[in-house]
Chains A and B, each alone.
Chain A
Amino acid sequence: MPVWPIHFRRHGDDFRGLTTIGPVLSVGRVIEVCELSKRYGPTVAVDGLSFTVRPGQVTGFLGPNGAGKSTTMRMILDLDRPSGGQVLIDGVRYRDLSEPLRHVGSLLEAKAVHGGRSAYHHLLWLAQTNGIPGARVRKVLDLVGLEGVARRRAGGFSLGMTQRLGLAAALLGDPPVLLLDEPLNGLDPEGIQWLRNLLRDLAREGRTVLLSSHLMSEMALSAEHLVVIARGRLLADTTVSDFIEANSSSYVRVVTPEPERMRDVLTAAGIRLTDGPDGSLHAYGAGAVRIGELASADDLTVHEVSTQSASLEEAFMSLTGDVLDYRTEGGQR
C-alpha cells in the first residue's frame, strides 16, 4: 500500500483541518452521463439524458420534484440499472472503480443509516470496505461537527445531524467526486452556510461536485454551473448567470399618473409594454435611462422607473412551466 502524503489544510473556520488521505488531485474527475434512460413499466423517469459534470466548480442539478434527479444519481452510482445509456466517471463505470469511496463520495437519502448503530460504527464499516484508515473516521466526524455524539445511536439524531453524518460518509474517502442529493435539507441556516462554503472550497481544490436540489434559490447561492432537468429530460446545461439571463426577461417598471399618454409615447418609440398587476406598466426592450429620457422629453410625470430582473426561481419556473403544464394535462404520474 502506497504511503500518500498527508496534507493538513486550513480554509478558515469552515474547513477544520480536513486531512486528505490520497494525493490532492490538481485535475478532478469528469462525470459523463450519456443517453441515460430509466423506465419503470410505461413510466419514463429519465429520458435520454446526456450531460457532463466538470471539476473545479459546484454543479447544481436542478429540477422539480419527480424530475428524475435521484434516479439519475442512483444510476451514476450503479445502484439502479439504466434502461439505456451509461455513466462514466473519468471513462470508467462506477462498479469498475477500485475502492469506489476514494473516487466518489455520495449522499443520497439522509435516513440511510441503521438507527441502532452509532455514528462512529456507521463510518467505520464504510471505511473498512474501502481500506480507509480508522483515523480518517475521527477526522470526518470532527469536520462535520459530530465528534461529541460519535458513540450515540444514529436513530436519535435530528434530521440535521443525520445529514451531517451522511456528509461525513461522503467525505470519508477524500474523493475527487462528490454527489449530493438534496444535502441542504434539514440543515439550519448556519449549517447551510457552512456546507456551501465547504463545497465551494472542495470545488476550488479541483474536485467535481454535483449537488441536487428542487429549490432554485438554493442553487443561486450554492452552484456556479447548472444542469436543469424536468420529466427526465435535459432543459439546460449552462452557468448560473447565463441561465438567468437566458430565461428571465428583465423589464422596467414604470409608475405614472398618466398611463395612457405614457403608453403612447413608449409604444411610438418601439418599446413593448404590458400592464402590471398594480396599474404600473412593464416595459421590455429598453433600459430605465432611455425610458426616463423619453418621459422627460414629453413632460410626463413619473413616480417610478425601476429595472426589475427575474429571480432565479422565476427563471426556473418559466423554463419548467411548459413541461409541468404538459404533465398536468397529460395526467401522467
Chain B
Amino acid sequence: MSARTSDLAITGAVPDVAAPRGGRLAGRGTALAALLIFLVLAVLPPVAVAVNDPFLVVTATRIIVFAIAALSLDLVLGYGAMVSFGHAAFLGLGAYAVAILSSHGISDILVQGVVAVAASALFALVTGAISLRTKGVYFIMITLAFGQMAYFFMVSLSAYGGDDGLTLGGRSTLFGLPILKSDFALFYLSLGVLVLAFVGLRALTLSRFGRVLRGTKENPVRMQAIGFQPFAFQLTAYVIAGALAGIAGVLLANQAEFVSPAYMSWQRSGELIVMVVLGGMGTLVGAIGGAIALLLLEDWLAHFSEHWKLGLGVLLVLLVLFTRGGIVGGVARLFGRPRS
C-alpha cells in the first residue's frame, strides 16, 4: 500500500485505475463529500437571510461559477493529464456570448447558452486539435498562447468594449421572463448546473470513455497498442471541458453583469489550475473544494493587506516545495479527505 501511495505521489495519478477495490470505496467517499458540499451550499441562502448578509449569496454564486470551471478543467487536467493553461478563454467566450447577444437585444438564456456552448466547443475543437499534436511543455505553452490569442482578440474588439469590457443591460431572461433578476434565483441556477456538471462528469469518468482517458494518461503507448486512438478521446474530453467552461462563463456574466477580457487572462487560467491541484486532481470533488478554498483564501488574505497576492504566491511555492509529490498529497492529508 505504501509503495502504491508513493507511486501516486510522484505521478499524481488517480487511485481508481490502479486499484479497483480501494478505488470504488474512494469513489463513494468523493461522492459523499460532494453531496455534503452541495447540501451546505443549498441551505446557504436561507442562512444568509437569517444572518442578514445578502452578500454571502453573491460570493457563493461566484465561487460556484468558478467551481464549475475548475470541474471542467479537472476532466482535462486530472483525467486526461493535459496541462491546459488557456482554460479561462472558454470561460470568457461563454461570458462574451451573453454580453454580445444581450447588447443586440437577445437576452434569452437558452439562446445565449447554446451560442456560448457552440462558441467555446468550436474554439476547443480547433485549438485542441492543434495543441494535441504536441506533448509536455509544448502543450502547456500552446494552450497558453491560444488563451492569449482569445484574450487579445477581445481586447482589440472595440465594438464590444475592447479593453474596458462591456456592461450588461441586465441579466438573462427565459422566454421573456426575468427569472434571474434575484440573486437567489441565479444562485440556485448555478448550483443546479454545478450538481448536473458533477453528476455528468462523474458518470463520464466512470464510463468506458473515462477509463480510456485515464489509461491514456497512465500510458499512451500501451493504449495505442491495445487499439485505442488517444487523440480522439483527448480531443473529445477537451471539447467537453471547453463547452462546460463556456456554460460557467454564461453564469459568470450574469453574476457580474459585466464582462471584460480580464476573465480570459492567463493569470485566470493559472488560478483555475491552482484550484484543481489544490483540491486534488482527478477527483472532481477536489476541483470544487479547491475553488471554494482558493476563493475564500483570496478573500481572507485580501482582508489583511492589499499585497495579498504575495501571500498567495508564497503559499503556492511552499506547498509545491514542501509537500511530498506536489500539492495533491499534502493537501489531501491536510484536508483529511476520505481517500487516504
Chains A and B form a bound pair = no
By a beta-carbon cutoff of 8 Å, the part of chain B in contact with chain A is none
